Amino acid sequence: MASPFTYTARSSSSSSDYPLDDEHEALRSTVEEFARDVVAPRAAAMDEDGAFPYDIVGSMAKMGLFGLPFPEQYGGMGGDFFALCLAIEELARVDSSVAITLEAAVSLGAMPIYRFGSEEQRTEWLPRLASGETLGAFGLTEPGGGTDAGATRTRASVYDGQWVIDGTKAFITNAGTDITSVITVTAVTGESGGRKEISSLIVPVPSEGLSVAPKYSKVGWHASDTREVSLDGVRVPEQNLLGERGRGYANFLSILDEGRIAIAALAVGLAQGCVDESVKYAKQRTAFGQSIGNFQAIQFKIADMAMRAHTARLAYYDAAARMAAGLPFKTQAAMAKLHASEIAVTNAREATQIHGGYGFMNETPVARFWRDAKILEIGEGTSEVQRMLIARELGLG
Amino acid sequence: MKIVVCVKQVPDTWSEKRLDPADQTLDRAAADGVIDELDTYAVEEALKLKESLGDATVVVLAMGPAGAAESLRKALSMGADEAVHIVDDALHGSDALATSLVLAKAIEQIGYDLVLLGSESTDARMGVMAAMLAERLGVPQATLASGVAVDGTSLRVTRMTSAAQEEVAATLPAVVSVLEKINEPRYPSFKGIMAAKSKPTSTLSLADLGIDASSVGLAAAATKVLDSTARPPRGERTIIKDDGDAGARIADFLASRKLL
């Protein structure tokens, strides 16, 4: 498809005035409408009861959101990664749980199979993941560590033509829904030169010996399904090795590089949602006989929030454009993720402040945004890891 | 089977609508244009009929300035097969009579078994277009449909009026206007959005339809808007929902106005 960055007019009601090409703009406005009309009215209740919204995920599947970046031959929509990011941003403007469900299913669940899978693996797994009929998950992090790959304790060895996998994975998104069909896990498959050899293995759900714990009680992202996964002598066919043996961790790092652009989009959506809610509230709320939006103390806060959302959006657009053009984008993706997640936390804090006492009430959208924001500085590479990556690119350390 | 769906580009439902003080017509530049929501139900019903009948073509038809192409594109991305856009500067200010004249000519030219449209537009809200089209085309009409079934050339429609629910039958061709309770319009998929680009789209002028420009437009309108005044803005509102403390919050509000 053509570059997404041709200059055409964009509707003034959108969150950004950045000119997108017609197809990306049509997708963005469609998801914006869906988020506003279908997701937003449900968000407070989903946050309250933490139930996974199967019907909303089903509607997203019908819209093709789970297949956005995959070719049609694998049941995809024939779009690109940037299209996925736009959809994630618009969902996150109203609800992060739904947005992360999409992000994790596509970028972490299906993408490794698309990027590193054999033709047989792609044909077997991608159509049902790209259609959104089932969800995929990726198990990298363990109770003992996420960033430190050397600490991986899950082990897998071949016996009688089957991989036998033992270990525990922590904080795995989409691991325990009724429609989860696959969890790809990293495991130590040997040792060479004193270093652990880490490989990726495709584990179908259900599998004997595979169990998921009850949902975690989380600070935010309440309606997203996050669980601990235990593998106790799980056996999968030898051909379920995903990608080259020993390349599991390296491959997953490259998945994380692009995943960071998607997380940045999610963070921008949350930051923009804070702007949307604050503008609405500032116009409606009165104090001292006038709307609080007349006070510069409030105006300046909201102006800064809008500026932060805008600049973070440009950062992820840039990383996505580089990726689409086949240019190196690792540093830009790290910067976009780092910046967007930090400004999301800042905007959520400021929006809560603007809402005063109501900002501390759970049913107020910005209170939910405030709880949903913090994880953005932790998941898919902490802010510290992003800074390490950027510093390394600058030739330091 | 050919289904023609009439769609209208209207100002965004949520926006403030304004009349142009110069000629008292809708100021289209004042708000974003969108496809009339009620017409999306007509598009959805056409697509559902196509899916159940198998052999059907859905043509979407709009009359309006250049921007109306956006509404046609939306209908194409939902799954309609072709779009026809009637665009002509002389149409500016056309009333319902002129609009029905132009649409009916275009529908005849396109060819049709069934014409579907929303029961009224969200901007003008006259709710007369289905009746006018049926009259001009000389075919049966069924308005306010909450259900449509087609079997061969026979049409069955469930009509919902404020007084009764009626089952009516007619032989195709016919004109049917739909209510929003008839279905839940689909959201376009990205594949649909991409496919819309390559679907056949044509534009028609008044000359293409053989209509004399003097029979349409503002000058030919049967009624004239002489003057208009914007509705005075509503006073500032605070909506208090009762979560158990509504009484206290109302008291706070009154106190903040020094009324308590």
* Domain-wise residue ranges, chain B: 2-220
Do A129 and A182 lie in one domain? The reply is: no
Instruction: Provide, rounded to the nearest whole percent, the portion of chain B with pLDDT above 90.
Output: 68
Residue of B187, B236, B238 lying closest to A30 (CB–CB): B187
DSSP letters, chain B, are -EEEEE--EEE-TTSPP-B-TTTSSB-GGGS-EEE-HHHHHHHHHHHHHHHHHSS-EEEEEEESSTTHHHHHHHHHHHT-SEEEEE--GGGTT--HHHHHHHHHHHHHHH--SEEEEESS-TTT----HHHHHHHHHT--EEEEEEEEEEETTEEEEEEE-SS-EEEEEEESSEEEEE-GGG--PPPPPHHHHHHHTTS-EEEE-HHHHT--GGGSSGGG-SS------PPPPPPP------SS-HHHHHHHHHHHTT--
Question: What angle do the packed helices A296-324 and A330-354 form, to 10 degrees?
Answer: 160
Q: Residue B1: CA atoms inside 13 Å, Cβ hemisphere, count?
A: 23
**Number of Cβ within a 10 Å radius of residue A161:** 9
Rg (alpha carbons) of chain B, rounded to whole number? 21
Do A186 and A52 lie in one domain? The reply is: no
Q: Judge whether B89 is closer than 8 Å to chain A, CB to CB.
A: no
Do A259 and A229 lie in one domain? The reply is: no
Place of tokens 């007369």: B128
- Verify whether the Cβ–Cβ distance A77 to B187 is below 8 Å: no
Mean pLDDT of the region A1-17? 45
Do A233 and A347 lie in one domain? The reply is: no
Of A246, A281, A309, the residue at which a domain comes to its end is A246
Question: CA torsion sign, A33 to B60 to B170 to B139?
Answer: positive
**Number of Cβ within a 10 Å radius of residue A12:** 10
B22 pLDDT band, cuts 50/70/90, is confident
Range of the domain at A198: 136-246
Q: Which residue of A has its CA nearest to B14?
A: A13
Of A246, A279, A309, the residue at which a domain comes to its end is A246
Residue B207 has pLDDT above 60, yes or no: yes
The pLDDT, as a whole number, for residue B174 is 97
Residue of A89, A244, A380, A384 with catalytic role: A380
Residue of A23, A62, A78 lying closest to B186 (CB–CB): A62
Cα angle vertex B15, ends A45, A4, to 5°? 80
- Verify whether the Cβ–Cβ distance A23 to B194 is below 8 Å: yes
Do A277 and A367 lie in one domain? The reply is: yes
Report if residue A101 sits inside a domain.
yes
Residue A147 has pLDDT above 80, yes or no: no
Specify the amino acid at residue B241.
K
Report if residue A225 sits inside a domain.
yes
Size of interface A-B (CB pairs under 8 A): 57
- Verify whether the Cβ–Cβ distance B238 to A33 is below 8 Å: no
Q: Which residue of B has its CA nearest to A80?
A: B190
Place of tokens 């008839």: B182
Three-class DSSP category at A167: strand
The pLDDT, as a whole number, for residue B16 is 74
Residue of A12, A63, A363 lying closest to B189 (CB–CB): A63
- Verify whether the Cβ–Cβ distance A63 to B197 is below 8 Å: no
Place of tokens 């990306």: A24
Report if residue A1 sits inside a domain.
no
Q: Judge whether B186 is closer than 8 Å to chain A, CB to CB.
A: yes
Residue A16 has pLDDT above 90, yes or no: no
pLDDT, one tens digit per residue, over A123-145 is 999 999 999 999 999 999 999 87
d(CA A227, CA A295): 45
CATH at residue A112: 1.10.540.10
Question: What angle do the packed helices A330-354 and A365-373 form, to 10 degrees?
Answer: 140
Q: Which two tokens stand for residue A87?
A: 């959809």
The pLDDT, as a whole number, for residue A24 is 94
The pLDDT, as a whole number, for residue B256 is 83
d(CA A76, CA A89): 20
Residues 6 or more apart in contact with residue A342 via CB below 8 angstroms: A377, A383
Q: Judge whether B77 is closer than 8 Å to chain A, CB to CB.
A: yes
Do A389 and A267 lie in one domain? The reply is: yes
Residues of chain A with C-beta less than 8 angstroms from the C-beta of B194: 1, 23, 77-79
Residue B241 has pLDDT above 90, yes or no: no
The pLDDT, as a whole number, for residue B165 is 94
Report if residue A98 sits inside a domain.
yes
Residue of B193, B243, B256 lying closest to A27 (CB–CB): B193
The pLDDT, as a whole number, for residue A273 is 98
pLDDT, one tens digit per residue, over A66-107 is 999 999 999 999 999 999 999 999 999 999 999 999 999 999
The pLDDT, as a whole number, for residue B259 is 82
Do A120 and A214 lie in one domain? The reply is: no
Residue of A26, A59, A284 lying closest to B193 (CB–CB): A26
Residue A13 has pLDDT above 50, yes or no: no
Report if residue A162 sits inside a domain.
yes
A14 pLDDT band, cuts 50/70/90, is very low
**Number of Cβ within a 10 Å radius of residue B147:** 17
d(CA A242, CA A231): 17
**Which DSSP letter does residue A149 get?**
G
Identify the burial level of B85 via C-beta atoms within 10 angstroms of its C-beta, where 0-12 means exposed, 13-18 middle and 19 or more buried: buried
pLDDT, one tens digit per residue, over B31-71 is 788 899 999 999 999 999 999 998 899 999 999 999 999 99
Identify the CA nearest to A305 among candidates A366, A394, A221: A366
Identify the CA nearest to A179 among candidates A132, A221, A142, A121: A132
Residues of A with CB under 8 A from a CB of B: 1, 11-13, 22-23, 26-27, 30, 33-34, 59, 62-65, 67-68, 72, 77-79, 83, 284, 286-287, 291, 363
pLDDT, one tens digit per residue, over A168-188 is 999 999 999 999 999 999 999
Mean pLDDT of the region A34-58? 96
* Complete edge-to-edge strand list for the sheet that includes strand B165-171: B165-171, B154-160, B141-151, B174-178, B114-118, B2-6, B57-63, B82-86, B201-204
Mean pLDDT of the region B154-159? 96
Specify the amino acid at residue A147.
T
B15 pLDDT band, cuts 50/70/90, is confident
Cα angle vertex B69, ends B54, A78, to 5°? 60
Angstrom CA distances, B112 to B3, B104, B107, stand at 6, 11, 7
The CATH architecture assigned to B2-220 reads 3-Layer(aba) Sandwich (3.40)
Q: A99-121 burial string, b = 16+ CB within 10 Å, else e?
A: bbbbbbbbbbbbbbbbebbeeeb
Report if residue A39 sits inside a domain.
yes
Specify the amino acid at residue B169.
A
Identify the CA nearest to A122 among candidates A132, A133, A112, A137: A112
pLDDT, one tens digit per residue, over B62-86 is 999 999 999 999 999 999 999 999 9
Q: Which two tokens stand for residue B163?
A: 């007084």
B212 pLDDT band, cuts 50/70/90, is very high
Residues of chain B with C-beta less than 8 angstroms from the C-beta of A62: 186-187, 189
pLDDT, one tens digit per residue, over A182-241 is 999 999 999 988 888 999 999 999 999 999 999 999 999 999 999 999 999 999 999 999
> Nearest CA of chain A to the CA of B110: how many Å?
28
Mean pLDDT of the region A336-348? 98
CA B190 to chain centroid? 24
Q: Judge whether B197 is closer than 8 Å to chain A, CB to CB.
A: yes
Mean pLDDT of the region A305-309? 97
Decide: B29 and B96 in contact? Cβ < 8 Å. no
Residues of chain B with C-beta less than 8 angstroms from the C-beta of A11: 32
Do A91 and A58 lie in one domain? The reply is: yes
Q: Judge whether B48 is closer than 8 Å to chain A, CB to CB.
A: no
For A334-348, B101-115, B129-143, B214-228, which range has the lowest pLDDT when averaged over its residues?
B214-228
Arithmetic mean of pLDDT over chain A: 93
- Verify whether the Cβ–Cβ distance A11 to B32 is below 8 Å: yes
CATH at residue A225: 2.40.110.10
**Number of Cβ within a 10 Å radius of residue B20:** 14
Beta strand residue intervals within chain A, DSSP E: 135-139, 155-159, 162-173, 180-192, 195-204, 210-212, 226-237, 241-242, 286-287, 290-291
Identify the CA nearest to A169 among candidates A193, A191, A200: A200
B19 pLDDT band, cuts 50/70/90, is confident
Residue A23 annotated to the active site: no
Residues of chain A with C-beta less than 8 angstroms from the C-beta of B193: 23, 26-27, 30
Of A87, A117, A135, the residue at which a domain comes to its end is A135
Do A119 and A185 lie in one domain? The reply is: no
Q: Which residue of A has its CA nearest to B74?
A: A26
Three-class DSSP category at A17: coil
Cα angle vertex B6, ends A87, A34, to 5°? 20
Q: Judge whether B245 is closer than 8 Å to chain A, CB to CB.
A: no
- Verify whether the Cβ–Cβ distance A23 to B12 is below 8 Å: no
Residue A11 has pLDDT above 50, yes or no: no
Do A122 and A205 lie in one domain? The reply is: no
Do A122 and A143 lie in one domain? The reply is: no
Decide: A172 and A139 in contact? Cβ < 8 Å. yes
Mean pLDDT of the region A48-73? 96
Do A256 and A149 lie in one domain? The reply is: no
d(CA A25, CA A10): 7
Number of domains in chain A: 3
> Nearest CA of chain A to the CA of B141: how many Å?
32
The pLDDT, as a whole number, for residue A87 is 98
- Verify whether the Cβ–Cβ distance A286 to B77 is below 8 Å: no
Identify the CA nearest to A46 among candidates A110, A96, A115: A96
